[in-house]
Structure 1
Amino acid sequence: MADPGSTGRFGRFGGRYVPESLVPACEQLESGFRAAWADPAFRAGLARTLALHAGRPTPVTPALRLSAELGLTLLLKREDLTHTGSHKINNVLGQAMLAKRMGKTRLLAETGAGQHGVASATAAALLGLECVVYMGERDMRRQELNVFRMELLGATVVAVRNGSRTLKDACTEALRGWVTQVDEAHYCVGSVMGPHPYPWMVREFQRVVGEEARQQCAALLPQGRPDVVVACVGGGSNAAGTFAGFVDTDARLVGVEAAGGAAVSRGAPGVLHGYRSQVLQDEHGQILEAHSISAGLDYPGIGPEHAHLADIGRAEYPSVTDAEVVEAVLRLARTEGIVPALESAHALAWVLRAAGTPQLPTGCSVLVTLSGRGDKDGAQLVALRRDGARSGALRRDAAGTPR
Structure 2
Amino acid sequence: MSEVQIRPRAGLMSEPTGRGRFGEFGGGYVPESLVPVCREVAEAFRDAWADPGFRGTLDTLLAVHAGRPTPLTPAWRLSAELGITLLLKREDLTHTGSHKINNVLGQALLARRMGRTRLIAETGAGQHGVATATAAALLGLRATVFMGERDVERQALNVFRMTVLGAEVVPVTTGSRTLKDATSQAMRHWVGVTDDSYYCVGSVVGPHPYPWMVREFQRVIGDEARRQCAAELASGVPDHVVACVGGGSNAAGTFAGFVDTSARLVGVEALGGAGASLGKVGVLHGARSLFLQNDDGQISEAHSVAAGLDYPGVGPEHAYLRDLGRARYETVTDAAAVDAAVRLARAEGIIPALESAHAVAWVIRAAESGELPAGTTVLLTLSGRGDKDTTALMELM
Choose the corresponding residue for 1:145, options 140, 157, 168: 157
Shift of 1:286: 0.6
Asked whether 1:182 is paired with 2:194, we answer yes
- Partners of 1:283 and 1:203 in 2: CA distance: 32
Q: Which segments of structure 1 move beyond 2 Å, counting only runs of 4 or more?
A: 356-359
Partner of 2:233: 221
Partner SS for 1:110: strand
Choose the corresponding residue for 1:359, options 346, 371, 374: 371
- Partners of 1:358 and 1:305 in 2: CA distance: 30
- Partners of 1:21 and 1:316 in 2: CA distance: 37
Choose the corresponding residue for 2:167, options 155, 159, 175: 155
Shift of 1:361: 0.9
Choose the corresponding residue for 2:114, options 102, 126, 142: 102
- Partners of 1:380 and 1:328 in 2: CA distance: 14
- Partners of 2:350 and 2:369 in 1: CA distance: 25
Partner of 1:204: 216
Asked whether 1:245 is paired with 2:236, we answer no
Report if aligned partners of 1:30, 1:197 keep a CA contact under 8 Å in 2. Answer: yes
* 2:312 partner letter: P
Choose the corresponding residue for 2:350, options 322, 327, 338: 338
Partner of 2:275: 263
Asked whether 1:195 is paired with 2:207, we answer yes
| Unmatched 5+ stretches in structure 1 | 385-393, 395-403
TM-score by length of 1: 0.95
Report if aligned partners of 1:356, 1:362 keep a CA contact under 8 Å in 2. Answer: no
* 1:146 partner letter: N
Partner SS for 1:55: coil
* 1:15 partner letter: G
Partner of 2:5: none
Partner SS for 2:307: coil
Asked whether 1:28 is paired with 2:40, we answer yes
| Unmatched 5+ stretches in structure 2 | 1-12
User: 1:189-241: CA deviations, max 9, x gaps?
Assistant: 00000000000000000000000000001111111110000000000000000
Asked whether 1:58 is paired with 2:77, we answer no
Shift of 1:266: 1.5
Choose the corresponding residue for 1:292, options 304, 319, 323: 304
Partner of 2:337: 325
Partner SS for 1:141: helix
* 1:47 partner letter: D
Which residues in structure 2 correspond to 1:47-126 (within 5 Å)? 47-126=59-138
* 1:382 partner letter: M
* 1:74 partner letter: L
- Partners of 2:343 and 2:73 in 1: CA distance: 16
* 1:110 partner letter: E
User: 1:31-53: CA deviations, max 9, x gaps?
Assistant: 00000000011001100010000
- Partners of 1:381 and 1:327 in 2: CA distance: 10
Shift of 1:359: 2.6
Choose the corresponding residue for 2:31, options 19, 22, 45: 19
Asked whether 1:275 is paired with 2:287, we answer yes
- Partners of 2:179 and 2:163 in 1: CA distance: 19
- Partners of 1:46 and 1:259 in 2: CA distance: 36
User: 1:268-321: CA deviations, max 9, x gaps?
Assistant: 000000000001111211110011000000100100000000000000001000
User: 1:97-131: CA deviations, max 9, x gaps?
Assistant: 00000000000000000000000000000000000
Partner SS for 2:289: strand
Partner of 1:9: 21
Shift of 1:358: 4.7
- Percent of counterpart pairs with the same letter? 72
Partner of 2:10: none
* 2:337 partner letter: V
Partner of 1:134: 146
- Partners of 1:266 and 1:344 in 2: CA distance: 20
- Partners of 2:203 and 2:36 in 1: CA distance: 21
Partner SS for 1:270: strand
Q: Bigger shift: 257-266 or 155-164?
A: 257-266
* 1:293 partner letter: V
Shift of 1:379: 1.1
Shift of 1:383: 2.3
- Partners of 1:315 and 1:277 in 2: CA distance: 15
Partner of 1:168: 180
TM-score by length of 2: 0.96
Report if aligned partners of 1:275, 1:304 keep a CA contact under 8 Å in 2. Answer: yes
Report if aligned partners of 1:240, 1:306 keep a CA contact under 8 Å in 2. Answer: yes
* 1:167 partner letter: L
Partner SS for 1:260: helix
Which residues in structure 2 correspond to 1:308-323 (within 5 Å)? 308-323=320-335
* 1:317 partner letter: Y
Shift of 1:6: 2.0
RMSD: 0.6
- Partners of 2:189 and 2:30 in 1: CA distance: 13
Shift of 1:331: 0.4
Shift of 1:264: 1.8
* 2:22 partner letter: F
Choose the corresponding residue for 1:371, options 372, 383, 389: 383
Partner of 1:391: none
- Partners of 2:275 and 2:114 in 1: CA distance: 35
User: 1:336-371: CA deviations, max 9, x gaps?
Assistant: 000000000000000000004453111100000000
Partner of 2:54: 42
